[in-house]
Structure 1
Amino acid sequence: MKRRERTRQLIELGGLIAKAGLIELTDDDRAVIFGILIEAGVALRSDDREQALTLWRRRGKRAFEVSATP
């Protein structure tokens, strides 16, 4: 069961990368996408962690709301 859950999680995370437009915006350059994710990790390890989380959470919620609107 754990393997199935992990696979589903990875598929969903890949879907978020696609939904954010990162595949098209980077011409499917996986090194660039990975670099973006590393930069996010750096921000989350900084003193500005809470501020970054708040900003990204708000942006993400707005994007989900817009994409859910028919």
Structure 2
Amino acid sequence: MRYHLIASRARHDTRDWQVKRRERTRQLIELDGLVAKSGLIDLTDDDRAVIFGILVEAAARLRGEDKDQSIMVWRRRGKRAFEDDSINDHLR
């Protein structure tokens, strides 16, 4: 009986771990897609240090006093880019 309880907990823990891992994998794939869609890979010749530097710079700006302004501008640009891309997809 005790073995069944331990085995059941182990299966549950494994499932939780697998669900969290799948969620993280999906998030990373989506972020990779956004980096590619933005053109950063081509524009930097796939230089990971440059791409990381851009992200570090954005994070620094988000830690600054102009955080809300930066978010507003970036959100507007992102939405516009998604809309433009959606229109272009329909025209192809």
- How many pairs were matched up? 70
Tell me the TM-score normalised to structure 2 length: 0.75
Structure possessing the higher radius of gyration over alpha carbons: 2
- Tell me by how many angstroms 1:15 deviates: 0.4
Unaligned runs of 5+ in 1: none
Please, which of 15, 27, 41 is the counterpart of residue 33 of structure 2?
15
For 2:73, the aligned partner's letter is: L
1:65 corresponds to: 83
2:11 corresponds to: none
Unaligned runs of 5+ in 2: 1-18
1:55 corresponds to: 73
Q: Relative to total residues, which structure has the larger helix share, 1 or 2?
A: 2
- Tell me by how many angstroms 1:24 deviates: 0.3
For 2:57, the aligned partner's letter is: E
The answer to whether the aligner puts 1:33 opposite 2:51 as a matched pair is yes
Moved over 3 A (4+): none
- Measure, in 2, the Cα distance between the counterparts of 1:12 and 1:37: 16
Q: CA RMSD in A?
A: 0.4
For 2:43, the aligned partner's letter is: L
Tell me the TM-score normalised to structure 1 length: 0.99
